[in-house]
Amino acid sequence: MLILCSASVTRAKLLKNVGIEFIQKKCEFDEEAIKLNDPYEFVSMASYGKFKECLKCFENENILTADTVVIDGKNILRKAKNKEEARKILLSQSKKEIKIITSMWIRFNAHIFGRIDETVYEFSKFDKKDLENYLDSNKWQGKAGACMVEGFCKKYIKKVTGYESTAMGLCIEEVLRIIGEKNAN
């Protein structure tokens, strides 16, 4: 059994889809207090901060924490606070290449693993009416960079390098590899 230390519905769905048994709980960690501009450092510090807090909450349990950021080449695109901010963030991705970076930490059978994965997308230009419909749906809420590669953004993908699961917030292929290796011991 694994504890997914995240409130993310998408991360939970990824685990469920591959048959990993888990429960979803979280510990409090203020990632907004992290003042780093390097996206790799930021996402690593955020996921590790969550991991350290969850180690205290769930002392002898198998745990998984993760954090995801989107970058448009120069800026970290965080979760939008409102519809106008979501519009601005999404327009910065239209007809551009972005990177979605996910860092995760796992303690499984007393072994600890940390890693960073990225997926690169090149998008065609977003249709304005389609963008407004997406904004009105509020599905962008809680998404790094307001980006939903399995939803709104999917039809605009021109090129992808990496795993879709990484872009969805959890590199499930690596989770399976780590858990599989440790289950074999």
Catalytic residues: 67
User: Would you state the torsion angle of the CA atoms of residues 115, 151, 79, 167, taken in this order, to the nearest 10 degrees?
Assistant: 10
> How many CA atoms lie within 13 Å of 2's alpha carbon, on the beta-carbon side?
25
Pairing assessment for the beta strands 22-25 and 2-5 based on DSSP bridges: parallel
Three-class SS of the chain: CEEEECCCHHHHHHHHHCCCCEEEECCCCCHHHCCCCCHHHHHHHHHHHHHHHHHHHCCCCCEEEEEEEEECCCCEECECCCHHHHHHHHHCCCCCEEEEEEEEEEEECCEEEEEEEEEEEEECCCCHHHHHHHHHHCCCCCCECCCCCCCHHHHHEEEEECCHHHHCCCCHHHHHHHHHHHHHC
